[in-house]
Amino acid sequence: MKVVICGAGLVGTSIAQHLASENNDVTVVEQDYSLVRRIGETLDVRSIYGHASEPDILEQAGAREADMLIAVTFSDEINMVACQVAHSLFEVPTKIARIRRPGYLKPIWGDLFSRENMPIDVIISPEREVARAIGRRLHVPGGFDVVPMAGGLVSVVGVRCAEDCPIINTPIKQLTQLFPDLNIVIVGIIRNDKGIVPKSNDHMLPGDDVYFICDSTHLNRAMATFGHEEEEGRSVIIAGGGNIGLTLAEEIEQEHAGVRSRVIEFDEDRAKSVAQQLDQTMVLNGDVLDMEILEEANISNTETFVAVSNDDEVNIIGSLLAKRAGAKRTIALINKHSYAQLINTLGIDAVVNPRMITVSSILQHVRRGRIRGIYSVREDFGEIIEAEAHETSSLVGKTLRDSDLPTGVIIGAIIRGEDILVPRGNSVIQKHDRIVLFTTYEAVKRVEKLFAVRVDFF
């Protein structure tokens, strides 16, 4: 597949790295020459210096032969114009744009991005995606990662094993015997910052981060199995009133009935603006690193503190101060991967990485085969994929034991209609089943082929 990526920032570089490692033909366009040189030296991609919205530059990047254009520059306007030029002049089949300013995304302007006006096939809003990701963590306070799949029928959860976790040092194969009615499959373990695809004889240790896939109706029981029975938080402090903080506050007002939230914003004018846009949320103007402001926000009686400013250091230090002042749970937005690796030792409960959330959203539309959903589990480990088994798939009609699944792939759930089936060795996949699985990045291409529709079917 030939892909043109506009923008060599963190998101553009991550997308280019993923696609290049899977032998796609990737060209990156960037107007910062230092980024052009860096990406050309570190990745097996073409890099072109220039403005991504200019026709000459896009033609030089190969837009005329491209299957897809992904516009993730720092400018919404450049992203939109690049998609328009790709459509009008080069007939690129699929255009994806990152749009950050909420003014472009209001429902009243829903026709703006129609094919007749500004033809963008997929719009990615990092602010909305991050706000939703944090909202899901509020629902399941014991999980550091919570992702719904199959229309919410299945949940993918990341949970940390504490010293008192009831199932540490228990071989995974024994969990079925201990909890025969619990629909849960452990698909990944992160230990000492290294991803492990678990085998039946493996067991979990204190400090492990574990990813499991379960029937959503069994989620509370699954969390209790890991020793997490925390109740959903009813009070939230949001540190940072930028686009993410505002979107999260709006999400809480609309989707979390009974949850009381407060926003702390440093800039006085921005604080006034945010207060005017919220109906049920108190907005405080001040420095989140000032204990007086935290006390004014009633931090000692707050269940969840969420730091989403545009400064990683402020988010980390603010979360530590909030924890010390009495907040039961802290969530910090971290952009730098090197910082995220320190979180376990610092005592922050969960990290939200906007780059990885955005990358997951984009990859969902890049993967081939009948892929319905994707979530990236660290950029060096693998992906959770939801896919539909077409009747031409080599999986259909065979037991999982005889399916010759690629190394690094674990099937976590089979969805047949509204029924959730726990995969066993003698399970047989039928046509139109939806499969939720984990795959390492090395096996992604083979997974795509498993769910591809053969040409001779048509």
Q: What does the pLDDT read at residue 298?
A: 93
Q: What does the pLDDT read at residue 355?
A: 85
Q: How many helices (H) and strands (E) does the chain have?
A: 15, 22
Task: Provide the greatest CA pair distance for the chain.
Answer: 69
Q: What does the pLDDT read at residue 115?
A: 76
What Rg do the C-alpha atoms of the chain give, in angstroms? 23
Q: What does the pLDDT read at residue 317?
A: 94
Residue 214 structure tokens: 């379960």
Q: pLDDT by residue for the chain (458 residues), tens digit each? A: 899 999 999 899 989 988 888 888 999 999 999 999 999 889 999 999 999 999 999 999 999 999 999 999 999 999 999 999 999 999 999 999 999 888 888 778 777 887 778 889 999 998 888 988 888 888 888 888 899 999 899 999 999 998 989 999 999 988 888 888 888 999 999 998 899 999 989 999 998 999 999 999 999 999 999 998 877 778 999 999 999 999 999 989 988 888 899 999 999 999 999 999 999 999 999 999 999 999 999 999 999 999 999 999 999 999 999 999 999 999 999 988 777 667 767 888 888 888 888 888 888 887 766 788 888 888 778 999 999 988 888 888 989 988 888 899 999 999 998 899 989 889 999 999 999 999 998 888 888 888 875 534 33
Q: What does the pLDDT read at residue 182?
A: 87
Q: How far apart are CA 325 and CA 345, in angstroms?
A: 18
Q: What does the pLDDT read at residue 22?
A: 81
Residues with Cβ < 8 Å from 272, sequence gap 6 or more?
285
Q: Which helix (H) or strand (E) holds 291?
A: helix 291-296
Can you tell me which residue has the tokens 């719904």? 148
DSSP string, 22-40: TT-EEEEEES-HHHHHHHH
Q: What does the pLDDT read at residue 179?
A: 87
Q: What does the pLDDT read at residue 457?
A: 39
Considering Cα of 205, then 317, then 336, then 80, what sign does the dihedral take? Answer: positive
CB 326 within 8 A of CB 250: no
Reported as a single tens digit per residue, the pLDDT across 82-103 is 999 999 999 999 999 999 888 8
Angle separating helix axes 126-139 and 354-363, nearest 10 degrees? 110
CB 303 within 8 A of CB 139: no
Q: What does the pLDDT read at residue 258?
A: 83
Classified as helix, coil or strand, 191 is strand
CB 210 within 8 A of CB 175: no
The b-or-e profile of 115-144 (16+ CB within 10 A means b, else e) is eeebebbbbbbbbbbbbbbbbbbbebbbbb
What does the CA dihedral 77, 83, 88, 89 come to, rounded to 10 degrees?
100
C-alpha 84: how far from its chain's center? 27
Residue 329 structure tokens: 């749970």
Classified as helix, coil or strand, 222 is helix
Reported as a single tens digit per residue, the pLDDT across 375-403 is 888 877 899 999 998 888 888 898 998 88
Q: What does the pLDDT read at residue 73?
A: 95
Using a cut of 0.95, tell me whether the model's pTM lies above it: no
CA within 13 Å, CB half, 193: 9
- Residue closest to 377 by CA, chosen among 162, 138, 191, 156: 156
